[in-house]
Structure 1
Amino acid sequence: MKFTAMLIAAGLALVAPAAAQETRSFIDDAGRVVEIPVNPERIVALQDIFFTVPLIELGIHPIGSHGRAGDDGQPFLRSSKMLTGVDFDNTDIAFMGTGTEIDPETVAAVQPDLIILSTNQDPQLFAEIAPTILLDFRRLDNFELYDRLAELTGTTASLELLKVRYGEQIAQLTRLGDPSGTSINVIAAVNGQVRSYARFAALGKVLHDAGFAQPDAVADVEYGQYSEFSPEMLPEMDADIIFVTYRAEFGETPADAFAQLEETVPNFCNFLVACQQGRMIAIPRDETFATSYGALGTLAYAVLAASTAANAISYSTN
């Protein structure tokens, strides 16, 4: 997309105040050395769940953000209202667009002094508006993005408090949840396959950091990845506890998660002891992979509750 002459002039005018601010050099994930404001005040974040939610948790409200469109056409920040209370409809954060369909003119209109781009966006489209930083959300540990965002925005002290809280939550889970003696898997039926999220994203991080065991079928999956299995492999997915996920933000319910499994593997519960003994638990999928310390804490308590309940069931049957 080419800027009109008027937009170019406006963009250059916007760069001038940013240039007048005190700046420092920052190396982004593309290896570009970018001069950015020492204290950016007008940030546009062009990825909601990986950039905007962490920024809000770090105490920074972007002036504009990428988002999603609901069935009613209204924009929303994925998982944000559930995890932070913040969304487009109750703040002055401006909606920039969905996916990669971000119009530079829309970004320029909010006069940012820093633009944080996702991996599938072109920095050159926005370079005339404000300094652009590209961060790669495809990394295996998305929580590394927190360190990058805190470094970028000067909020490392806030991040350290979040890490201390999470450390205490994991210590409690490790002490009370019997992780070494409890196996956990996280599954969903997706496109005719059984997908395991036991090593993936926020819930995978909690299970990994607490040291929970896993079924042999998924034990060698690389940290930060999910894996897909053919339906006949479902018995190999069994564990002491199974979490099954569903898209609550899009109106799905636990019944949908079980119905999808039933469609993929008829009479699926017959193949899973965890299901037969009431140790199969449905939880919303968005919170399980959000890059959010709030999500980590919620998940740590959910896993603690599930593991202590599973241990009680085992005790009662012995």
Structure 2
Amino acid sequence: MSSVTHPLTTADALDTLARRAPASNDLHELAAWIQANGHRQLSAIERIELAEQLITRRRFLIGVGALGLGVITGCGAEEQASAPTATVAATRAVTDALGRTVTIPQRPARVVALHDLDNAYAIASLGFAPIGMGSITLGDRFERLRSLGPIPATLDPAIEVGLLSDPNLETIAGLRPDLILGTTLSHEKIIDQLTTIAPTVLIDNTGGDEVLSNQRFQADLVGVLDRFNTRVAEYEAAMADLRQRYVELFSSLEYARIDSFGAGPEDNYLLLSTLTPSYRVLDDLGAQRSKTNVGPQGELFPVISPERLPDYDADVFFVGVPAGEQLAPQLRSLLAATFAGQRNQIFTVDYGAWGFRNVEALFVVLRDIETILQDRQLDTSGAFR
């Protein structure tokens, strides 16, 4: 079913209709009302589609307090005076990554999360169930979430609303959300269409002041900040335990962290942004980043060519590769002459889990490091600082 493209579907026109239309969620009843109130020129399909959009817009207006029950039902002055007082949903204003002030429900209940990882998983892993979510691969909503462990049960009911880079606006509107979460990278270009459906808040999933800032912000939006704080405290306790057991090792350990990534036929390795869980965990444990493992200032993910890899030496190399894959022979050969390579201290890790910016990723990195250290004595006598 194609979406209505008609002057009636502008926000102002929908608002006017919302104030006059009967308080019904029955599409056919509303379509009949639309036909009887001066819009016979629309086809039956167009009236049904307009009724769907009207319901969605009315729910939004109620959520932000722009409509009271008496206004929605079209009651006269006397009827409004004798009608029960409407309960207007509580709202609050927040500022998103675009610097926009967005009025959202105090307690959102129907949230569509357009980014599978940075929106949907960020809140679902804390116990909030979004009603819809985008995916990186159509037909498999959870493709890249599995590296973080079992999929949260709160994601099971979420309806796929299209690719995270190209969400289906009609599907989103049909879910009648009271809040939409997205990212500046993928959704800034369609912000106007999204805000016509429901209040929309975007995060900058490549920025922030620290690793967990985006998840903390969204946890607060949907009312699960307490759960977020609990998980962070649990991570900190587990991290402190591991640090205490290996305090001497971590105090002298220098590491390098790179990812194998398809950036091009020659330049296909990345130095990771410090806004990743791997750096947070290793810093928390007391390890130090090798001075050789620093990219050019101002570059978020500096790309380095294979022949330059031996310049990035350290006691230990953590190399991110796709889940289940091994270190490429070319890379192993290039790193063979490094301090880490000569001592067999090059370890492959899942570049997804080690790069995802949420608290569950911190636990994955912590467990992987503990596994690496079991039954192994690392040589930390290199001098790279």
Q: TM-score, normalised by structure 1?
A: 0.83
**Could you tell me which residue of structure 2 aligns to residue 32 of structure 1?**
100
Q: 2:313 aligns with which of 238, 263, 276?
A: 238
**Alignment partner, residue 226 of structure 2:** 157
Give the 3 Å change call, closer, same or farther, for CA 227–271 of structure 1 in structure 2. farther
Over 3 Å counting, the alpha-carbon distance change for 1:52 and 1:90 in structure 2 is: closer
Helix, strand or coil for the counterpart of 1:126? helix
Deviations 1:241-291 (A, max 9, x none): 21222122xxx611xx324626xxxx3243233233322111211101112
The one-letter amino acid paired with 1:253 is E
Which structure 1 residue ranges, 4+ long, deviate > 6 Å from structure 2? Answer: 87-90, 220-224
Distance (Å, rounded) in 1 between the aligned partners of 2:165 and 2:131? 18
Tell me what 1:93 maps to: 158
Which of 125, 133, 136 matches 2:201?
A: 133
- SS of aligned partner of 2:180: strand
Partner of 2:146: 81
Alignment partner of 1:146 out of 187, 201, 215: 215
Q: CA deviation at 1:43?
A: 0.4
User: Counterpart of 1:157 in structure 2: which amino acid?
Assistant: D
Structure 1 residue aligned with 2:252: 181
- Counterpart in 1 of 2:91? 23
- The separation in 1 between residues aligned to 2:215 and 2:154, in whole angstroms, is 25
| Aligned CA distance change for structure 1 residues 43 and 90 (closer, same or farther; 3 Å) | closer
SS at match of 1:287: coil
2:191–2:200 Cα contact (<8 Å) kept: yes
Is 2:258 the counterpart of 1:258? Answer: no
Paired residues of 1:215 and 1:239 also in contact (CA < 8 A) = yes
Count of residues in correspondence between the two structures:
302
Task: Provide closer, same or farther for how the CA distance between residues 3 and 11 of structure 1 changes in structure 2, counting only shifts above 3 A.
Answer: farther
Contact preservation (8 Å) 1:53, 1:84: no
Distance 1:78 1:280, change over 3 A: same
Higher relative contact order structure (alpha carbons within 8 Å, sequence separation ≥ 6): 1
Give the greater-gyration-radius structure (CA).
2
Q: Show CA shifts across 1:195-253 (max 9, x none).
A: 233735111221223231222222476799443323332222222221222122xxx61
| Alpha-carbon distance in structure 1 between the residues aligned to 2:345 and 2:225 | 39
Cα pair distance change 1:223/1:63, threshold 3 Å: farther
Q: Is the 8 A contact 2:259 2:270 kept in 1?
A: yes
Q: Deviations over 1:3-46 (max 9, x none)?
A: 53415434323324534422122222222222211111110111
1:210 corresponds in structure 2 to 285
TM-score with structure 2 setting the length? 0.70
Equivalence for 1:113:
178
Shift of residue 133 of structure 1? 1.1
Q: Report what 2:16 is aligned to.
A: none
Amino acid at match of 2:255: I
Aligned partners of 1:123 and 1:133 also within 8 Å: no
- Partner Cα distance (1:90, 1:34) in 2: 25
- For residue 159 of structure 1, report the CA deviation from its aligned partner: 1.4
Instruction: Provide closer, same or farther for how the CA distance between residues 81 and 230 of structure 1 changes in structure 2, counting only shifts above 3 A.
Output: closer
Instruction: Work out whether 1:196 is the aligned partner of 2:240.
Output: no
**Cα shift at 1:170:** 2.5
Give yes or no for contact 1:185–1:237 (8 Å, CA) kept in 2. Answer: yes
Aligned partner letter, 1:107 = I
**Counterparts of 1:28 and 1:200 in 2: how far apart (Å)?**
19
Question: Is 1:53–1:291's contact at 8 Å kept on the other side of the alignment?
Answer: no
1:279 matches 2:366: no
